[in-house]
Amino acid sequence: MTRYVPVMGMLALTILAGCSHHAKPAPALHASAYGSALAVSSGDKQLGTPGAPLPQPLVIEVNDDQGNGVQGALVKFSGPAGVSFNPAAALSDSNGEVSTNVTVGDSSGRYTVEVITTDKKGKEIPLQVNELAAGYQEMLGYEVQKKYCSRCHDPNSTPEQVSNYGNLAVAPHPFDRGNTFNKLSDADLASIISHGGPAMNLSALMPDYGSTLSKADIRAVIAYIRLVSNPPFQAPGMVYATR
């Protein structure tokens, strides 16, 4: 039996040597040009599912002092625990753009993505981008508000829906206006949605939906408003850690 040991040993060494050739690190990226500013081209403030990739890639543009796209600039992406990027770093293309696919964390909420490039002197140029992960209740609220609320509360028209925002005598507040909605309690918002604007001495153009929406639907819309709020909503009585 001992005469087979050297053969098996050589076979093991051959396998190990072969495996080592498959673990080559990815080549490092080196910038050939440098910008002076970063801007979001598309893909920010997306509403995604916790633990899953966002529907669209995040596209960042690197610009020079004249606002022109810079090709060959190195852009790096990072985020809180649970957030991943594919790729995590890339060089800008001929349009000055870099694209990455973002996977948000496992919990619903707001995720702040850090984007960094450097200028000619090596100084970092940072940019923060917010992405959103919606749980079941927030996603239900998104669907409900899209059906009943967005035509008036969203100032932007889409191919699927023309906004009525600019036609109203009193412009409604977009749901991401945290400076307005953060001052209202959940009970206040539920009263406005259920009984209309006059319930809180607000515009009569805000109709009542108490006979149209269930209490669960109304709670879901409020959860969605809290999710998209900018600045972020902070529940009264809660203590929030700062970075």
Give the pLDDT score at 4: 46
Helix axes 186-195, 215-228, angle to 10 degrees: 130
Q: Which two tokens stand for residue 84?
A: 């991943």
Q: Which two tokens stand for residue 90?
A: 């890339």
The Cα 114–Cα 126 span in angstroms is: 7
Contacts of 230 (CB under 8 A, 6+ apart): 130, 176, 177, 178
DSSP 8-state assignment for residue 32: S
Q: Which two tokens stand for residue 5?
A: 């040991």
pLDDT in tens, 51-88: 999 999 999 999 999 999 999 999 999 999 999 999 99
Can you list the domains of the chain with their CATH numbers? 37-133 (2.60.40.10), 136-228 (1.10.760.10)
Identity of residue 92: S
Give the pLDDT score at 25: 63
Name the stretches of the chain with pLDDT < 70: 1-26, 237-243
Give the pLDDT score at 21: 53
CA dist 179 → 14, 42, 52, 150 (Å): 66, 24, 30, 19
Decide: helix, strand or coil at residue 8. Answer: helix
CA 116 to mean position of chain CA atoms: 16
Number of H helices, E strands in the chain: 6, 9
Confidence (pTM): 0.78
The Cα 150–Cα 153 span in angstroms is: 5
Helix (H) / strand (E) element for 12: namely helix 5-20
Helix (H) / strand (E) element for 26: namely none
List the alpha helices (DSSP H) in the chain: 5-20, 136-148, 150-153, 178-181, 186-195, 215-228
The Cα 110–Cα 105 span in angstroms is: 10
- How do 89-91 and 74-78 pair as beta strands? antiparallel
The Cα 32–Cα 15 span in angstroms is: 40
